[in-house]
Structure 1
Amino acid sequence: MALSLVTSSAVLAAEFTPAQLQTVAQLRDKALNSDLSWQLLTALTTEVGPRLPGTENDKKAVAWAQTQFQQLGFDKVWSEPATFPNWRRYHESASILTPSEQPLHLTALGNSISTPAGGISAEIVMFETLDELMAAADGSLTGKIAFINYRMNRDIDGNGYGPAVKARNKGAVEAAKKGAVAYLMRSVSTSEHRFAHTGGSHYQQGVTKIPTAAVANPDADQLARLVALGHKVTVKVDIRTEDLGEGTSYNVIGEITGSELPEQYVLIGGHLDSWDLGTGALDDGAGVALTMAAAKLIKDTQRPKRSVRVVLFAAEELGLWGAKAYFKQHEKHLHNIVAAAESDFGADVVYAFESNVHADSLPIVRAIAAQLAPLNVQYIAKNEAHGGPDLIPLAKAISAPIFGLHQDGTDYFDYHHTADDTLDKVEPSKLKQNTATYAVFAFMAADAPAMIKGK
């Protein structure tokens, strides 16, 4: 009997009224017919462009976001500082010298040091994986350039990224330990086009810093073919970068204040910064635009019981610095977050919805999932969602209720971190579906009959 009462109680707590569900339907339809997210994305990528942390464009993006929040009628708009390692890319070029001269398309990885004046010319030694490089004999790469040719696989959920990105994070350190003078890697990419993909890299205290860069996939194939033919392959790499010390940017935050429990809030958002090669339309201008638009559409439809807070995180690309600052500053009040989701995986359709919440809150999750179904969003019942990268510090701090609104990432890594990440890669209809999904999720989580709890 006690179990029956508990179950009945949980079901009742999850019940949304017919009036609430009618509002959800209105909101969903309104979002599917709204051009607001497209207008915001167009403005950000056209009027500001690339937004490398610490640059003038980064400052313009912060001002742009503040102005947009205010013009959209958000109840509260403010910014919070975040510091980060301020890095610049100035020049990059490379070529094969032997067995024949050929240009190479490459890009410096974030945080890379410069080559000496005139560049570095040396023989490459190819490895298929990071583990193979790490197993190389000490001193075996002295005076040479290490090259990892790991091929990333393509999948809807981007599961090939984790294994591939290890070489980007640690490759330069492991190559330097073996005596290498520079480090190259096949781009963390699924593309066949001749665009090199940048991304963050790291050094280790006590290990010599060496220049580090990613090679476009067709050029990586060319290097691999030459090595397979038995040639001694010599490459020249010329990179100019600068470490400007500590920089400061800002998380920009807009809030729609709840009508009954304003201190509790749903957190949605994306990261405002981008790499400098493209205009950051997919990574992460789309996430910025669609979450801003979703909150605005909620406000225009009906104010929920709890607040909806849109956080545009700073300096994500250089190491989640804005996210670390936000959750550190708000650490005493993180229990007020009733749901958190980040859009940082491009602009293709949301195909699945997943939670990571206390079992008591699963009836509410299922009720939300039922209202996402008309948007062709499937419910994943595992209850193991990880959320976007800027939510990692939150997950480490507390057992927060985190959600994954999974976007189709089949093509995402064709454009990720390249000069080809531009507005034309975004389909307005798909952006509308994303906006509607976030609007329905955020409204229902904020207006739920009971507070969603973390595990």
Structure 2
Amino acid sequence: MLKSNPLARLTKILSLSGAVLTSVMFSSAAMAITEQDKAVLEQLKQSSLKSDLSYQLIESLTTEVGNRLMGTEGDKRSIDWAVKKMKALGFDKVWTEEVKGTYWQRGHAHAEIVSPYPHHVVVLALGGSVSTPKGGLEAEVVHFETLADLKAAPDNSLDGKIAFVSYRMTKHIDGKGYGPAVGTRVTGASVAAQKGASALVMRSVGTDNNRTAHTGVMRYQEGIKKIPAVALSNPDADLLVNQLKRQHPVTFKLSVDTITHHDQSAVSANVIGEITGSELPDEIVAIGAHLDSWDVGTGALDDGLGIGMTMAAAAQIAQLEQRPKRTIRVILFAAEEVGLLGAKEYLVKRNDDVSNHVLGAEWDFGMGPIYKMTPGVGADALNSIREFAQVIAPLGVALSPRNDGVAQSDMSLLTKAGMPSVNFAPDGTDYFDYHHTENDTLDKVNPDDLKINTTIYTLFAYYAAQAPVDFRK
């Protein structure tokens, strides 16, 4: 867990001499970063570390747009916002590509423990959940500690009851506790329905102790009855567990009112901007984030951070007197939260051909400083990556010994389609305290950590656009 003072760390970084970039010793045959490029990288580092642009972009997005679930007015405003910002920042080309999906509206969700000890509790409907019957439903709760325990229950053993899964996510710097917890959110409703349950209540996929619930997408299995599914705040999940421990039947009342427009498509768009390469304009270095967010909070962390960082990185490079050799493309993907729809459409429009995408990276996790870089490139390209790793080492980034890096979220699909990728790992210890909640707001953004991370993406984009390397080899 990284707990260093970010302001002191930033000051130390700024005080480092440009000689750090030139101190790395490589044979001339192996060098991919020229002395001239090292000078430009140092210039970019100094200017980016002093710039507030990425923070200003996030502030603008969260203030002027706010949350932006696919198909909502906020989503439409965000597309217009991104296009205008990219043009104002000096991108050479800016365009949108339409993305369609199912239009779902949250409505409301209310819940209470009726007996033996009455309490109102905090819930959020999971994304895509159906409604309860009119007037809600009231039923006895059956407790399962894990999704595996729920799966092990006999079919139809929960007839007329509410399934409750209490598994609690654990905190880790790399967010590895998310995987074991998120399965209940994604598939739990259909598992519970197969057992005969009338509804699924699950402990939120989050690491906080706030009385706020965490939403997120869920999926219904074809051929199984659709039942309402909600996430319960961590303190209220503890309360429910404590009541169940007393060995008395616990009755729970749930009212969920959502709307899914099966006859109406939600229309969104990927927003794409480019800084055109000076020598190899058809070769693309892709950096990006997702533009949508859940309809709670203002989407400052998820994924306002990535939006601000990648747009600011390209904007910094656009200010150089000489454009880099390759094109730098910033992709703000639509509808990531509801199933990577923007990324899927991006590949469809290119017939799954990303052979002109030479290297890519996305930001969609964490809120602290980047501490590790994991490449996913050809064996011959590793020497060049190691050279670049020395450039960003003073910024606190270690090079992973592995070479199996996959770009995050949307761009993971591009990685699978053949794009060489780099994964930058930030401190995500506290990220899931706020993830998919009303608390995903601007005040959680640390401006000093943001400057460092934006600088790393800026240096990466310029390096990848200049390096005389085939990252596939």
Q: TM-score, normalised by structure 1?
A: 0.96
Deviations 1:237-284 (A, max 9, x none): 111111123211000000000111110111001000000110000000
Aligned partner letter, 1:337: H
Q: Does 1:362 align with 2:382?
A: yes
Paired residue for 1:303?
323
- Return the alpha-carbon distance in structure 2 between the equivalents of residues 341 and 291 of structure 1: 10
- Return the alpha-carbon distance in structure 2 between the equivalents of residues 197 and 83 of structure 1: 25
How far has the Cα of 1:12 moved from its partner? 2.4
1:121-270 equivalent positions in 2, closer than 5 A: 121-245=138-262, 246-270=265-289
Aligned partner letter, 2:293: S
Paired residue for 2:9?
none
1:334-373 equivalent positions in 2, closer than 5 A: 334-373=354-393
Aligned partner letter, 2:36: A
Aligned partner letter, 2:257: R
Q: Does 1:327 align with 2:344?
A: no
How far has the Cα of 1:88 moved from its partner? 0.7
- Return the alpha-carbon distance in structure 2 between the equivalents of residues 331 and 364 of structure 1: 30
Runs of 4+ in 1 over 4 A off after TM superposition: none
Paired residue for 1:6?
none
- Return the alpha-carbon distance in structure 2 between the equivalents of residues 344 and 162 of structure 1: 15
2:77 counterpart (45, 57, 60): 60
1:90-105 equivalent positions in 2, closer than 5 A: 90-105=107-122
Paired residue for 2:106?
89
Secondary structure in structure 2 of the residue aligned to 1:335: coil
Paired residue for 2:21?
none
Is contact 1:92–1:238 with CA below 8 Å preserved after alignment?
yes
Aligned partner letter, 1:203: Y
Aligned partner letter, 1:52: L
1:284-303 equivalent positions in 2, closer than 5 A: 284-301=303-320, 302-303=322-323
Is contact 1:352–1:379 with CA below 8 Å preserved after alignment?
yes
Deviations 1:374-405 (A, max 9, x none): 1111111201212211023213322x211101
Count of aligned pairs between the two proteins: 445
Aligned partner letter, 2:420: P
Larger displacement relative to structure 2 (240-249 or 290-299)? 240-249
How far has the Cα of 1:80 moved from its partner? 0.2
Deviations 1:15-66 (A, max 9, x none): 3111111110110111110010011000000000010110011000000000
Aligned partner letter, 1:362: L
How far has the Cα of 1:11 moved from its partner? 7.1
In 2 relative to 1, CA 11–402 (structure 1 residues): closer, same or farther, beyond 3 Å?
Answer: farther
How far has the Cα of 1:332 moved from its partner? 5.6
Aligned partner letter, 1:45: T
Q: TM-score, normalised by structure 2?
A: 0.92
Paired residue for 2:427?
408
2:402 counterpart (382, 392, 397): 382
How far has the Cα of 1:152 moved from its partner? 0.8
Secondary structure in structure 2 of the residue aligned to 1:40: helix
Percent of aligned pairs with the same amino acid: 51
Aligned partner letter, 1:145: I
Paired residue for 1:281?
300
In 2 relative to 1, CA 339–125 (structure 1 residues): closer, same or farther, beyond 3 Å?
Answer: same
Paired residue for 2:290?
271
Paired residue for 2:415?
395
Is contact 1:196–1:217 with CA below 8 Å preserved after alignment?
yes
- Return the alpha-carbon distance in structure 2 between the equivalents of residues 33 and 311 of structure 1: 25
- Return the alpha-carbon distance in structure 2 between the equivalents of residues 156 and 108 of structure 1: 28
- Unaligned 5+ runs, structure 1: 1-8
Higher share of residues assigned helix: 1
In 2 relative to 1, CA 278–338 (structure 1 residues): closer, same or farther, beyond 3 Å?
Answer: same
Is contact 1:10–1:363 with CA below 8 Å preserved after alignment?
no
Is contact 1:203–1:209 with CA below 8 Å preserved after alignment?
yes
In 2 relative to 1, CA 11–361 (structure 1 residues): closer, same or farther, beyond 3 Å?
Answer: farther
- Unaligned 5+ runs, structure 2: 1-25
Is contact 2:366–2:429 with CA below 8 Å preserved after alignment?
no
Is contact 2:163–2:201 with CA below 8 Å preserved after alignment?
yes
Deviations 1:106-133 (A, max 9, x none): 1000000011111111111111111110
Paired residue for 1:73?
90
- Return the alpha-carbon distance in structure 2 between the equivalents of residues 368 and 240 of structure 1: 52
- Return the alpha-carbon distance in structure 1 between the equivalents of residues 93 and 194 of structure 2: 50
Larger displacement relative to structure 2 (173-182 or 85-94)? 85-94
Secondary structure in structure 2 of the residue aligned to 1:319: coil
> What RMSD in Å do the two structures reach over aligned CA positions?
1.3
1:10-89 equivalent positions in 2, closer than 5 A: 12=29, 14-89=31-106
Deviations 1:126-185 (A, max 9, x none): 111111100001111000000111111100000000111011111001000000000011
Is contact 1:445–1:452 with CA below 8 Å preserved after alignment?
no
Secondary structure in structure 1 of the residue aligned to 2:68: coil
- Return the alpha-carbon distance in structure 2 between the equivalents of residues 237 and 390 of structure 1: 34
